[in-house]
């Protein structure tokens, strides 16, 4: 039976309940205005608008790991574009464009165009920043744009723009609270659907992979800058649309709601909702908006005075909640809820994985051709020479073992071979092309795949999805296709390939398990499956057998033997000498960064220099 035909738990998936929650949300949105008071409807409108901004932050911060305090500025761009366009008279615009004056759709489009341009420039500058520089950068632009809104004369300074006419779309005027409610929440639901679709797709996996570290993601072929930009622009677009809705709901805009403080509030909403939870955006927005309302009503009663006390109390609450968050309270709550949700199949209705189009494969280079060659590779870290003039080659259908004591420089060598790091001097040639200094995703494209000594998996993602990330370069559907779910055929092929590789390494039954829940030895094997999913011709394995039990080692040796028979070239670092000597065709021994011996396993075992390095030898 083909592995693809296995009826598999792989098709169960944790996020599936979220999809059903969308279906449940639709009648709620349709019916709620009938039972809510006017005041409550207005409050719900504000919550919906805030939820849309927060949803962008869930994607950006919760999923992608990028912190932004500047989202309110994008809301401002959307709101001011809407306000300006809506209050234009035909005579205000040049001939030919006068048709657009007063058009809310034109306001929306204008807002999106400006938002994308501004976010594109800001993203290009700030997304390459690491650590604290990114949030600081977002604060800087948040402040600049806020002051810009107050400075531009046409925007009415700090008094703002009033007299925005009621929203009129396709001949229907939406001027009642309940109509706006349905529009706003309709947009929120669409945004939730689009976000869920994105997360459950190839470009979405790339964004989620950012959490696993840039090195891992790039080694899987992910263009991390592009993945960051995708999340950043999506979040900016959500914020801009929220601004458009805001302008047409309030019928008045002034700079205050787009200040840095608002940006911090949005971040707080994302935190409360449990960053990373799509519906958490709604929960967080509702909590914060209602809490602020409530504090505004309550505090003057308690304190007997009017003032901005709610801001002070709110600030203190933030501190308390942050403390709770860091102890993982929200995370545990979310987990508890998740554990109770039923798992539902994500396979497209009626889809049969056996009928899925298999991904095309690259032909293996003919056995015996040199795949990889290192020429005088040297890597210095300050005064330390971690690799000292290493030269060797590997051919298709060959297993080369690199052995040596801890700290000998083996992992450093692997990093250079896979272009995670570049040699200080020397050359590396992979498939007749010099690769040292290239980005690692470039060599991944050419068929080099690796695993890491310190496992780099996405622990909360399923084993299947982790492996599918390895097949990233074998798909091409982008963000638009993903959001509109036009990527299902390709996605099915990618998941089927991931499933095939999982089965191949013997982890088929764990497809739906979270990667972090597997034993460490299994996680190493999972990394091999992920590497294999890229259809490589060269595999670099850094201590793949560490932590494996005897039977698991046997299975691994058998798998590597099969891969070699298929013509794959394998370089592996391993400390288990029985494993190495039985499996490897040739062995390279390094000590203190230098190559002290190279040859057949039998030669190495009796080499005096090697025995010396191992203080008494390998026996
Ligand atoms: P091995 O994998 O053989 O155990 P490594 O390649 O990890 O050894 O390390 C070789 C030497 O290089 C060690 O002394 C280690 O401390 C040093 N080293 C590795 N990476 C770095 C780095 N990024 N900066 C400074 N020193 C490093
Ligand atoms: Mg190492």
Ligand 1 atom closest to the Cα of residue 453 is 2
Model confidence band, residue 255 (pLDDT cutoffs 50, 70, 90): very high
Kindly state whether residue 523 falls inside one of the protein's structural domains: no
3-state secondary structure (DSSP) of residue 572: strand
End residue of a domain, out of 263, 289, 323: 263
Of 244, 263, 282, which one is at a domain's C-terminal end? Answer: 263
- Helix, strand, or coil here: 230? helix
Last residue of some domain: 242, 263, 284? 263
Q: Closest ligand to 381 CA?
A: 1
399 part of a folded domain:
yes
Q: Say whether pLDDT at 343 is over 60.
A: no
Residue 284 covered by a domain: no
CATH number of the domain at 402, please.
3.40.50.300
Round the average pLDDT of the chain to a whole number and report it.
87
**Greater model confidence, 592 or 21:** 592
Q: To the nearest 10°, the Cα dihedral for 16, 21, 26, 27?
A: 130
- Specify the pTM: 0.90
Ligand 1 atom closest to 408 (CA): 3
User: Looking at residue 344, what is its pLDDT?
Assistant: 40
Please give the Cα distance from 421 to 387 (Å, whole number): 12
Strands (E) across 289-369 are located at 344-345
**Structural domain harbouring 404:** 370-447+536-613
The answer to the question of residue 274 being in a domain is no
CA nearest to 373, candidates 398, 390, 361 = 390
Nearest ligand to the CA of 453 is: 2
Give residue 407 CA to ligand 2 midpoint distance, Å. Answer: 7
Q: Which residues surround ligand 2, an ion (CB under 5 A)?
A: 410-411, 453
C-beta 589 within 6 A of ligand 1: no
Do 87 and 203 reside in the same domain of the chain? yes
Indicate the DSSP class of residue 4: G
Query: What is the structure's pLDDT at 329?
Result: 55
With beta carbons less than 8 A apart as the criterion, state whether 567 and 364 touch: yes
**Which of 531-535, 582-586, 590-594, 609-613 is the least confident region?**
609-613
Most confident of 296-305, 335-344, 384-393: 384-393
For atom 5 of ligand 1, the residue with the nearest CA is 409
**List of E strands, 284-324:** none
Q: Which numbered atom of ligand 1 lies nearest the CA of 542?
A: 2
Closest-approaching ligand to the CA atom of 412? 1
What is the 3-class SS of 503-546, one letter each residue? HHCCCHHHCCCEHHHCCHHHHHHHHHHHHHCCCCCEEEEECCCC
Quote the CA–CA distance of 74 and 80 in Å, as a whole number.
10
Q: Is the minimum distance from the CB of 379 to ligand 1 under 6 angstroms?
A: no
151-205 pLDDT per residue, tens: 988 888 888 898 888 888 887 788 787 889 999 999 999 999 999 999 989 999 9
Structurally, how many domains does the chain consist of?
2
Residue nearest to atom 14 of ligand 1 (CA): 407
Residue nearest ligand 1's atom 20 by CA: 412
Q: What are phi and psi of 611, to 5 degrees?
A: -60, -40
pLDDT for 399-452, tens place per residue? 999 999 999 999 999 999 999 999 999 999 999 999 999 999 999 999 999 999
Residues 250 and 377 in one domain: no
């Amino acid at each position: 039976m083909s592995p693809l035909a296995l009826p598999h738990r792989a098709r169960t998936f944790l996020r599936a309940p979220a999809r059903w929650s969308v279906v449940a949300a639709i009648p709620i949105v349709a019916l709620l205005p009938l039972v809510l008071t006017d005041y409550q409807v207005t409050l719900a409108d504000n919550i919906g608008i805030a939820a849309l901004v927060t949803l962008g932050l869930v994607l950006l911060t919760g999923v992608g790991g990028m912190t932004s305090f500047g989202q309110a500025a994008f809301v401002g761009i959307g709101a001011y574009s809407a306000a300006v366009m809506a209050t234009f008279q035909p005579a205000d615009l040049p001939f030919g464009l006068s048709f657009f004056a007063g058009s809310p759709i034109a306001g929306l489009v204008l807002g999106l165009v400006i938002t994308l341009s501004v976010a594109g420039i800001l993203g290009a500058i700030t997304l390459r920043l690491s650590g604290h520089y990114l949030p600081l950068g977002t604060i800087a632009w948040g402040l600049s744009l806020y002051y810009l809104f107050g400075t531009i004369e046409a925007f009415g300074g700090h008094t703002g723009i009033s007299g925005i006419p009621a929203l009129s779309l396709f001949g229907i005027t939406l001027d009642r609270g309940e109509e706006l409610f349905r529009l706003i929440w309709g947009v929120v639901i669409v945004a939730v659907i689009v976000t869920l679709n994105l997360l459950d797709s190839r470009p979405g996996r790339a964004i989620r992979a950012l959490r696993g570290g840039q090195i891992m993601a790039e080694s899987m072929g992910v263009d991390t800058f592009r993945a960051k930009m995708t999340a950043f622009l999506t979040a900016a677009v959500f914020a801009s649309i929220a601004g458009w809705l805001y302008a047409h709901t309030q019928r008045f805009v002034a700079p205050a709601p787009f200040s840095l403080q608002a940006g911090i509030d949005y971040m707080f909403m994302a935190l409360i909702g449990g960053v990373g939870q799509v519906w958490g955006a709604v929960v967080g927005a509702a909590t914060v908006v209602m809490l602020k309302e409530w504090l505004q009503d309550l505090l003057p009663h308690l304190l007997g005075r009017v003032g901005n006390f709610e801001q002070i109390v709110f600030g203190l609450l933030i501190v308390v909640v942050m403390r709770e968050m860091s102890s993982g309270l929200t995370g545990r709550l979310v987990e508890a809820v998740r554990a109770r949700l039923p798992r539902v199949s994500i396979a497209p209705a009626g889809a049969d994985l056996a009928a899925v189009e298999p991904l095309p494969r690259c032909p293996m280079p003919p056995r015996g051709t040199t795949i990889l060659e290192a020429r005088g590779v040297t890597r210095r870290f300050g005064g330390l020479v971690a690799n000292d003039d290493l030269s060797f080659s590997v051919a298709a259908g060959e297993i080369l073992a690199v052995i040596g004591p801890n700290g000998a420089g083996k992992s450093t060598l692997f990093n250079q071979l896979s272009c995670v790091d570049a040699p200080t001097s020397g050359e590396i040639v992979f498939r007749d092309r010099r690769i040292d200094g290239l980005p690692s995703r470039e060599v991944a494209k050419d068929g080099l795949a690796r695993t890491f000594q310190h496992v780099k998996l996405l622990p909360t993602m399923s084993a299947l999805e982790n492996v599918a990330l390895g097949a990233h370069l074998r798909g091409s559907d982008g963000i638009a296709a993903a959001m509109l779910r036009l990527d299902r055929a390709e996605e099915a092929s990618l998941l089927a390939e991931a499933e095939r590789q999982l089965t191949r390494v013997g982890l088929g039954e764990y497809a739906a398990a979270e990667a972090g829940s597997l034993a460490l030895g299994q996680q190493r094997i999972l990394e091999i499956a992920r590497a294999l999913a890229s259809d490589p011709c060269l595999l670099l394995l850094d201590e793949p057998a560490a932590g494996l039990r005897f039977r698991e080692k046997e299975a691994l040796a058998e798998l590597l033997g099969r891969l070699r028979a298929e013509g794959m070239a394998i370089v592996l670092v391993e400390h288990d000498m029985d494993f190495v000597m039985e499996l490897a065709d040739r062995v390279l021994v390094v000590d203190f960064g230098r190559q002290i011996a190279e040859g057949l396993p039998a030669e190495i075992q009796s080499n005096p220099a090697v025995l010396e390095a191992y203080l008494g030898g390998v026996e």
